[in-house]
Amino acid sequence: MTAWNPPTARERLAILEATQVVAIVGASSNPARPSNFVATYLLSSSTDFTVYLVNPREDEILGQPTYSSLDDLPSPPDIVDVFRRPDDLPGVADDAIAAGAATLWVQLGLWSDNAAARAHGAGLNVVMDRCVKIEHARFNGGLHLAGFDTGVISSKRS
Give 103-116 pLDDT, tens digit per residue. 999 999 999 999 99
Answer yes or no: is 140 within a domain: yes
Work out the average pLDDT over 81-105.
97
| Predicted local confidence at residue 52, as pLDDT | 98
Q: How far apart are CA 52 and CA 35, in angstroms?
A: 12
Domain containing residue 44: 9-144
The listed range with the strongest mean pLDDT (30-34, 41-45, 135-139) is 30-34
- Cα angle 149, 155, 157 (rounded to 5 degrees) comes to 125
In this structure, is residue 45 part of a structural domain?
yes
CATH assignment at residue 57: 3.40.50.720
For residue 153, the model assigns a pLDDT of: 47
- Least confident range from 11-25, 62-76, 134-148: namely 134-148
Looking at residue 156, its pLDDT comes to 54
Q: What pLDDT is stored for residue 157 in this prediction? A: 56
pLDDT score at 3: 85
pTM: 0.88
Q: Into how many domains does the chain fold?
A: 1
Residue 103 inside a domain? The answer is yes
Sign of CA dihedral 131, 139, 31, 80: negative
Cα(12)–Cα(125) distance, integer angstroms: 9
